[in-house]
Structure formats: C-alpha cells, structure tokens
C-alpha cells in the first residue's frame, strides 16, 4: 500500500504543477523544469535512492520513495506531456501514467522552428 501511495503522490505533485505552468521544459527522460506562480521547480528521478526529487529555490527535497523509473515525454503534437512512473518494493510493482495539457506549449527557447 505504501508503494501505491508514493506513486500517487509523485504523479499528483508533478501533475498539479504542470496544470498551472507558465513554462515547462523536458530536460531529459527523467527530468522536467516547470515555472509556475510558485517559481521554478525541477522534478527529477534519483535512480540511486529510488526517489522523486523536487528542486526549488536551491533546496532539494524528496517527494516520493520507491520510484524505480520515471519518464517524461511530449506526444507527437507537442502539446501534451506524458508522464509514466514505476514504483516498486519487495516485488510489489505499481505502474501509473497520465497525460497533462499544460496551459502553455513549452519554454520559448526550446520551441522548434
């Protein structure tokens, strides 16, 4: 049950911030930068510690444990962010995914021309 709760928390935090983003950029398969009314936030997967990490205002905070895989990508139209994560502990595995349409397309510096 704790694994499922951590997976849900991870997905909820990222989704919540993407839904109010003024800018976002997928930095890598396992890292996304989101700018919202709260400022700039970076979510990334810590493979060694199996955690979702949030970086904000110079602070690094673990958000959820048991995260063994995390993937960010955009759909082919470029307007939807797909988030897939896997949480696991003691052979109990949970896979969750969601699609979010942020109110903005992407960070201007990363737009394709």
- The pLDDT assigned to 113 comes to 42
Is residue 65 in a domain? yes
pTM for the full model? 0.86
Residue 59 bridge partners (DSSP): 56
Contact 15, 8 (CB under 8 A): no
Q: Which of 52, 55, 50 shows the shortest CA–CA distance to 35?
A: 55
In a domain, 52, yes or no: yes
CA dist 74 and 4 (Å) reads 25
Number of domains composing the chain: 1
Phi and psi, residue 91, nearest 5°: 70, 0
Q: What is the mean pLDDT, run by run of 10 residues, along the chain of 113 residues?
A: 94 95 95 92 97 95 97 89 96 95 66 47
Residue 112 lies in a domain: no
**Residue 42 near residue 33, CB atoms below 8 Å:** yes
The parent domain of residue 90 ranges over 2-104
Domain presence at residue 113: no
């Amino acid at each position: 049950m704790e694994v499922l709760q951590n997976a849900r928390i991870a997905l909820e935090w990222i989704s919540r911030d993407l839904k109010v983003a003024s800018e976002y950029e997928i930095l890598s398969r396992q890292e996304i930068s989101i700018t919202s009314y709260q400022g700039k936030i970076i979510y990334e997967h810590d493979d060694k510690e199996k955690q979702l990490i949030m970086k904000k205002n110079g602070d690094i905070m673990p958000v959820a444990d048991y995260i063994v895989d995390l993937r960010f990508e955009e759909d082919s139209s470029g307007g939807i962010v797909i988030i897939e994560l896997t949480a696991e502990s003691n052979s109990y595995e949970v896979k969750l995914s969601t699609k979010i349409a942020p109110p903005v397309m992407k960070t201007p510096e990363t737009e394709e021309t």
